[in-house]
Amino acid sequence: MIRIVPREEYCIGCRLCEIHCIVQHSRSKNIIKAFKSERRPVKRVEVEEEGHVSFALQCRHCDEAPCVTACLSGAMQKDPRTGAVVNDPERCVGCWTCILVCPFGAVRRDEAEHKAVGKCDLCPDLEVPACVANCPNEALLMVEE
Amino acid sequence: MAATYDYAIVGNSAAAINACEAIRGVDREGSIILFGEEKYRCYSRPLISYLVAGQIESRGMYYRPSGFYRSMGVEFRKGTRVEEVHAARKTLTTDGKEKVKWRRLLLATGFKPFIPPVPGLEEIDYLTFVSWDDARRMLARTARPARVLIVGAGLIGMKAAEAARARGAAVTVVEKMERVLPQALDAEASRMVWERCREAGIDIVTGQGVAELESRGNGKGRAVLEDGGEMDFDLLVMAVGVRPRVELAEGAGLDCSRGIEVDGHQRTSLEGVYAAGDAVNAMDVVLGRPSINALWPVAALQGKYAGLNMAGKEVPYPGCNSMNAVEFFGLPVLSAGIVNPPDDGYEVISRRSDAGDYRKVVLRGEVLVGMLVAGRIERAGILTSLIQERANVRRVKNFLLEEAFGHIHLPRSVRQERITETAAGIMKAEAARDKGV
């Protein structure tokens, strides 16, 4: 499976990862439409920043994922094939238990849909996740395990 | 001749299903039989309020896909109650008088509603609100405008109230304590929820018990409160509390005065018999002693560790804490650990933002032991994990109430370990440390 590893010594805090994440998860995958005319998707990566230090953080796709065990509806599952922890929006009821137990704060609410969709899905349609591919300073690395 | 199974599981909810999956992760071959008392395949009990409120459909109730038992290689006995367990002979008997031999047994018998002895109650066709059948009954009985009286403002009572209100019913909640959700929430969050419920048209009466009930047939009746006030209802919901279901464990010879007792591997004192879920008195890492946390995520975690240990993988249950994720009328509230400190040996820091969001942390010495966030709840799981890890938060104390509190505030070494290691690594490290203690 692949994991995304942040490198804080290379992160410049530009937040392009957040923007490309939003675009990639938009309907049109077009930056202008995604930000101006469509409903803007929830970002699935978050840049933490304090002083000179910053890094981007998204779902770690834990082997023993607390969100999968805790999920009330069974929507949050670990894909045995890819190793990705994925939330099925059809089954998610928005109880927020995943947000309660995620040690990384890596799940966000989609308040409009009332579902916990704001989590990294490793961009299944792309060879390299959008945040990694568009990081200008290689502060996000994709590691194959 | 009774058939012999490598694993027998009594129960069909969070603990049981997670145990099945954990067993199969270790043992692909062993035979598993699972007994579910209700006429449903495994569904998510906490979702009944979503079903009644019309937020999900029936098919959204199921916890696992329809082919689950087959794909797991589990023989599923639906609608079958286990009546007796004989631990020495390693057998069990069902209500259909089927006798089964087992090598390892899991008791995941869950909870039952506690019904207080109110005069007149036995004459009334009242509801509890803990099962799919309860949800169906509430749907049927709120099909027309109804006055619903709910006794108890705990999680079950308040969710029943919200669901009934969504059905258009006139809802009144009566609670003995002075506030709603007295256990799950602190006074401030409780007030916020009350406010939302009031705005939504739910009537809440606190500091009051029901002294007497009078039936008028068809489930309707009149309640007399302790202060003499009277209230007519078309539907009565009893939601005073729950108790562990321990009859089977007791019958097998276990002492269950505080729930089913287990060791650090979910083993009971009977050879080959394990227990997990809402009936079990298991380690609460915040309290530092066993406690019953009858909560879905806790049951699921216990089931998982019971399953691993039953299948021969010796891994200690990491322990859990009292944690809740709730939402009432669009106000989400998350809490973990101790939110109502029992004495003044705790430090409480809280903040209410201008936007109305609320955030509070509870410390014992320099250790984070509790948190509660209402409104903007994103990233609160970081606090939960620090509570679960019994982390010393001296150096980050000033940041805990910040909405942006995150790994950036943790020491670099801690941060890097947390981020590059997976949560499995964290749990492994913790398990190892617990073993050393």
Tens digit of each residue's pLDDT (9 = 90 or more) over B104-139: 999 999 999 999 999 999 999 999 999 999 999 999
Reading the block at residue B214, the tokens are 């009078």
DSSP A43: P
Contact A49 B408 (CB under 8 A): yes
Q: What is the pLDDT of residues B338-395, one digit of tens each?
A: 999 999 999 999 999 988 899 999 999 999 999 999 999 999 999 999 999 999 999 9
First to last CA, chain B: 47
Residue A42, helix vs strand vs coil: coil
* Contact list, A53 vs chain B (CB under 8 Å): 408
* Contact list, B44 vs chain A (CB under 8 Å): 72-74
In DSSP notation, A14-40 reads --HHHHHHHHHTSSS--HHIIIIISPP
What chain A residue is nearest to B378 in terms of C-alpha separation?
Answer: A108
**pLDDT given at position B47:** 98
Average pLDDT over residues B135-150: 97
Instruction: Reply yes or no on whether the pLDDT at B429 is more than 90.
Output: no
Contact A94 B327 (CB under 8 A): yes
Average pLDDT over residues A20-38: 96
For testing contact with chain B, the best of A69, A76, A107, A110 (most B CBs within 10 A): A69
Contact A69 B304 (CB under 8 A): yes
Q: Minimal Cα–Cα distance from B432 to chain A, Å?
A: 16
What chain B residue is nearest to A54 in terms of C-alpha separation?
Answer: B408
Instruction: Reply yes or no on whether the pLDDT at B223 is more than 70.
Output: yes
Residues on chain B bordering chain A, Cβ-to-Cβ distance under 8 angstroms: 18, 44, 46-47, 50, 55-56, 60, 62-64, 296-297, 300-301, 304, 323-325, 327, 332, 334, 336, 377-382, 384-385, 404, 406-409, 418-420, 422-424, 426-427
What chain B residue is nearest to A100 in terms of C-alpha separation?
Answer: B381
DSSP A134: T
- Buried b / exposed e over B60-88, threshold 16 CB at 10 Å, is bbbbbeeebbeebebbbbeebebeebebe
Query: How buried is A10 (Cβ within 10 angstroms: 0-12 exposed, 13-18 middle, 19+ buried)?
Result: middle
Contact A91 B55 (CB under 8 A): no
Q: In terms of DSSP bridges, do strands B280-284 and B203-206 run parallel, antiparallel, or are they unpaired?
A: unpaired
Instruction: Reply yes or no on whether the pLDDT at B188 is more than 60.
Output: yes
Instruction: Reply yes or no on whether the pLDDT at B428 is more than 90.
Output: no
* Contact list, A78 vs chain B (CB under 8 Å): none
Query: Rounded to whole angstroms, how far apart are CA atoms B409 and B276?
Result: 36
Contact A102 B381 (CB under 8 A): yes
Q: How confident is the model at residue B436 (pLDDT cuts 50, 70, 90)?
A: very low
For testing contact with chain A, the best of B378, B389, B400, B405 (most A CBs within 10 A): B378
Q: How confident is the model at residue B421 (pLDDT cuts 50, 70, 90)?
A: low
Supply the pTM of this predicted model.
0.94
ipTM over 0.90: yes
**pLDDT given at position A114:** 84
Q: In terms of DSSP bridges, do strands B260-261 and B280-284 run parallel, antiparallel, or are they unpaired?
A: parallel
Contact A100 B379 (CB under 8 A): no
* Contact list, A5 vs chain B (CB under 8 Å): 419-420
Contact A95 B419 (CB under 8 A): no
Contact A100 B384 (CB under 8 A): yes
Percent of chain B topping pLDDT 70 = 96
Mean pLDDT of chain A: 94
CB B372 within 8 A of CB B357: no
What chain B residue is nearest to A62 in terms of C-alpha separation?
Answer: B422
Q: What is the pLDDT of residues A68-118, one digit of tens each?
A: 999 999 999 999 999 999 999 999 999 999 999 999 999 999 988 888 778
**pLDDT given at position B2:** 86
Q: How confident is the model at residue B424 (pLDDT cuts 50, 70, 90)?
A: very low
Q: What is the pLDDT of residues B48-95, one digit of tens each?
A: 999 999 999 999 999 999 999 999 999 999 999 999 999 999 999 999
